[in-house]
Structure 1
Amino acid sequence: MSRRLTAVPAALLLAALLLLTATAALAATTRTATTPDQLRAGHAAYEKAVATGWTKATKLLDAQLAKHPKKPTVVLDIDETTMSNWGCLDAVDFDVTIGLATCVVQSKSVAFPGAKTFIKHARAKRVAIAFITGAPQATCALRQKNLIAQGIRKPFTLTCRPATYTTDSIVPYKSAARKALVKKGATIVLNVGDQQSDLSGGAARKTYKLPNPIYTIN
């Protein structure tokens, strides 16, 4: 029996397919050319790079706060930014479709330690936390449940992709969500994500991109 069928029971596969239907209009998620064996061999280095990235993001945040912005806010992506789906992806040989669906449906994503430290630091500085994710609205409650279970408790805001969004790139949705925060009076001092599409479109004073050797999103 294949590793994939062993790792993912039929009921979960069905749930994943339902999730796929909900995300059909989402921008293309593409696996990188890095093989599963290469990803596993480089896992420790990847984790270290993410930790280093969050340290750098903290320094960027502090530099912006020194300018005394009004209603400072940080915008964070969730998957492979705040939380890792490594376990779910590894279990299915990095099949992105099934791996991501598994983590979302079963709330199995695991918070990066660096992300939790960053959020704690930001809150101590009275910075608002806003999550903007490409996950569909139908899964928003699951994403919130997972965040809270991983120790990232409220207050925070969470924006998920509307069911009516059919554009083949995530950029217009995410940039519009950031602009909506600004319109409400927030100053987005820093926007952190693992994809360039998380950061494109403006509305943030600074951006920081974390590494993601597994997949890319348009």
Structure 2
Amino acid sequence: MHKSLRIASATAACAVAGAVLYGAGAAGAGQSTANSTHEPYNVGLLHTDIDTYYGTTQDADGVYQASPDSPYAKDLARIDKAARAQIDRAAHTAADKHHKGDRPAVVFDIDDTVLLSLDYEKKNSYGYSSASWAEYVDRADRPEVFGTPELIRYAEKKGVEVFYNSGLGESQRAAAVANLKKVGADVNLDTDHVFLKDKADPPSYLSACATPSAWTCTTVQYKAGTRKHIESLGYDIIANFGDQYSDLQGGYADKTYKLPNPTYFVE
């Protein structure tokens, strides 16, 4: 997740995301104000809506968790079903002896695509600081996004190559890999498959927007540029997964899957 590009105001971030999920109910939520026709959705009510969507509860260790029978989990299950069908089709095509072409691959974002950051978001009132976020990532104890580790293993079983394309920094590699292993996403966690931002020594395929002295890549440029590089290695990215639209834009994927995330927005 490219945290530096998060909307500066946590309230604005929640309002944007919440409008997508809950905008239809805003008119009946007691939001009318005299002489105002543009009052934003109340942030307190929005927080409640987000808790309802995730089925948020605190476990015995005080960690906020999503519920496996929540609307969030049900939305993820629908995405998982469609993605497995896509993987099955790609695996069948690749197995066809008459088919000659690039090897099928899937690409996953990490934050809130494989590893759930709900506890951080909730405890920080959906705000952000680079120091607290780095500390949180380094603990390497985030729970899984329901179903994603299983989907990763399913792709591997079907002979589809798995890659990760994350906005986490290179300095966070050890923690990210440890956390992925912990949730069962222990597939292709080497440097050839896990792409993280390396602003100190950016790869040559991002030279249009990144040099050791200046990183100007937007999230879309970074992620799409990385996917382009993966395809240049002889892969066809049959599916790209992310919780932000900026994870998915820019091409170089046959199909994209947007996972739900009403807690923040990355440009």
CA separation of 1:36/1:102 partners in 2, compared to 1, >3 Å: closer, same or farther? farther
Aligned equivalents of 2:259 and 2:145: distance in 1?
Answer: 12
Matched, 1:93 2:90: no
Shifted more, 139-148 versus 26-35: the winner is: 26-35
CA apart distance, 1:32: 2.1
The answer to whether the 8 A contact 1:88-1:102 is kept is no
Aligned equivalents of 1:36 and 1:81: distance in 2?
Answer: 21
Matched, 1:74 2:117: no
The equivalent residue for 1:42 is 53
Aligned equivalents of 2:77 and 2:143: distance in 1?
Answer: 14
The equivalent residue for 2:153 is 120
The equivalent residue for 1:187 is 236
The equivalent residue for 2:36 is none
TM-score (norm. length: structure 1): 0.80
The equivalences for 1:137-148 within 5 A come to 137-148=170-181
Higher relative contact order by CA 8 Å / sep ≥ 6: 1 or 2?
1
| 1:11-37 residue CA offsets vs partner (Å, 9 max, x unmatched) | xxxxxxxxxxxx78x433562214322
The equivalent residue for 1:84 is 116
The answer to whether the 8 A contact 2:6-2:264 is kept is no
Aligned equivalents of 2:222 and 2:176: distance in 1?
Answer: 18
The equivalent residue for 2:5 is 27
The equivalent residue for 2:78 is 52
CA apart distance, 1:168: 6.0
The answer to whether the 8 A contact 1:89-1:100 is kept is no
Instruction: Give 1:151's match in structure 2, choosing from 184, 191, 205.
Output: 184
Moved over 6 A (4+): none
Q: Which amino acid aligns with 1:61?
A: I
Instruction: Give 1:162's match in structure 2, choosing from 189, 195, 198.
Output: 198
CA separation of 1:101/1:38 partners in 2, compared to 1, >3 Å: closer, same or farther? farther
CA separation of 1:183/1:89 partners in 2, compared to 1, >3 Å: closer, same or farther? same
Aligned equivalents of 2:81 and 2:6: distance in 1?
Answer: 30
Q: Which amino acid aligns with 1:83?
A: L
Q: Which amino acid aligns with 2:216?
A: T
Structure ID, larger Rg: 2
Q: Which amino acid aligns with 2:235?
A: A
CA apart distance, 1:215: 0.9
Q: How many residues are matched?
A: 195
CA separation of 1:70/1:159 partners in 2, compared to 1, >3 Å: closer, same or farther? same
TM-score (norm. length: structure 2): 0.66
Q: Which amino acid aligns with 2:150?
A: T
CA separation of 1:85/1:169 partners in 2, compared to 1, >3 Å: closer, same or farther? same
Aligned-pair identity (%)? 27
The two structures, once aligned, show a CA RMSD in angstroms of: 2.2
Aligned equivalents of 1:29 and 1:152: distance in 2?
Answer: 30
